[in-house]
A and B are shown apart, each in its own frame.
Chain A
């Protein structure tokens, strides 16, 4: 059982479309991060959200942390082929037994076709 459930697992869309990726848990997180991984590379941090209800924007990407700090979403507007990659959410469980340990979701593989 995944502590962080990401959906969808795979997403294939056309350039210009909008999309949303979800990251859900039954646990409360102290903070939540989103990473993107391109082929042959390690994941790279996109954003960190720490406050329930927080919304952060990074150009065409909008990240939201749920009010209860149990879920998050990543919305991409007008997707481009350069957005193709694996998107991962990661968080630290509040009050977890392993101090500071980041738990990763299983990822969403996004393919944007020209």
Chain B
């Protein structure tokens, strides 16, 4: 595709349910990031994948959050037992090597009710 694609664009879920967010990076980009952005705030780092290296999970806020990526393809961010404080926009970005320009998707707006 032409850019980073995220789905769904919007997700409303009930408290306690699990959700899966998907990110399709730009083809050939080895690095992939997930960020969380609360309303009117900056970016909060969640996880970083670089090629086949072990992911940097240092930003995951709790064990309810997990992410997977197979090779240099699609990534999924899973939030288990969602809480209202999980409501935010979840942004995915990819870049060629990690140190170069990061291209962002338009995000998934998650609302937990």
Contacts and interface: CB of A to CB of B under 8 A. Distances in A.
By CB atoms of chain B within 10 A, which of A33, A103, A104, A105 has the most?
A: A104
B50 interface: yes
What interface size band does chain B fall in?
20 to 34
Contact of A101 (B40, B56, B107): B56
A112 interface: no
B102 A45 contact: yes
B101 interface: yes
A104 B42 contact: yes
Contact of B42 (A33, A99, A105): A105
Interface string A74-114: 00000000000010101010000011111111110100000
A66 interface: no
A107 B39 CA distance: 13
B43 A104 contact: yes
B42 A102 contact: no
Contact of B53 (A30, A45, A99): A99
Interface in A2-35: 6, 30-31, 33, 35
A102 B33 contact: yes
Interface residues of A, number: 27
Contacts of B95: 100, 102
B99 A92 contact: yes
A52 interface: no
Interface string B4-47: 10000000000000000000000000010101000011110100
A31 B103 CA distance: 17
Contact of A102 (B4, B40, B99): B99
Given A48-B101, A100-B99, A104-B45, 5 more contacts: A42-B104, A43-B93, A98-B48, A100-B97, A109-B40
Interface of B: 4, 31, 33, 35, 40-43, 45, 48, 50, 53, 56, 91, 93, 95, 97-99, 101-107
